[in-house]
Amino acid sequence: MKREIRISGFGGQGVIKCAFIIGKAASIYDKKYATMTQSFGPEARGSSCSAQVVIDDDSILYPYLQNTEILVSMSQDAYRKYSTEIGKDGLILIDEDLVNPESVPEGARLFKIPATRMAEELGDKIVLNIVMFGFFVAMTGGLLSLDAAKKAVESSVPTSSLDMNMKAFLKGYDYGMELITKKS
């Protein structure tokens, strides 16, 4: 059950933290194998940024993506750059406030969430990445257990912002679950 995932956006959005939490949920709390690699643009904040996560039930022999199955995109430039990597039956999750998908790769499934708006409604758009993580957990249908995802958030954010981060996670997760229910 190997899954290849790219989290993308621009520096300052928490792209790397989101990928780290995905890997942590998988490896520490769901007892799977996971690797993460990351890439930054020449500037830190505001330039393109992406992280690759590979999750498998068995040992991972190669930590880089060869067949991107899931793309999480939180910026227009990131979507343009990485959406072409998605194969048939791929899953694309975007922040509809920041990404306008001009085209969707053939056979790929695209789902949108107003993640930035949701984060702002919670009081701080810095939790955008945690909203997207919740959405990711819901839309990937059991790749990560809900319990593992919650534990990964709890153990990865400062205790002073834990309440807001958990609300952000649940807001994204609940939104995804509603989308799944409507599609059924």
Q: Domain ranges for the chain, please list them.
A: 3-183
Q: Along the chain (184 residues), what's the average pLDDT of each consecutive run of 10 residues?
A: 94 93 98 91 67 96 92 95 91 96 92 97 95 98 96 97 97 97 81
Please return the burial class of 151, using the count of CB atoms within 10 Å of its CB with bins 0-12, 13-18 and 19+. middle
- Distance between CA atoms of residues 141 and 177, nearest Å: 9
pLDDT score at 46: 62
Task: Give me 146's structure tokens.
Answer: 């809900």
Task: Please list, in sequence order, all residues whose beta carbon lies within 8 angstroms of the beta carbon of residue 145, skipping any fewer than 6 positions away.
Answer: 25, 29, 30
| Full-model pTM | 0.94
Which two tokens mark 26? 């998988």
CA gap 13, 19 in Å, rounded: 12
Q: Strand runs (DSSP E) across 66-184, as ranges? A: 70-73, 91-95, 109-113
What CATH homologous superfamily does 3-183 map to? Answer: Pyruvate-ferredoxin oxidoreductase, PFOR, domain III (3.40.920.10)
Quick one: pLDDT at residue 7? Answer: 97
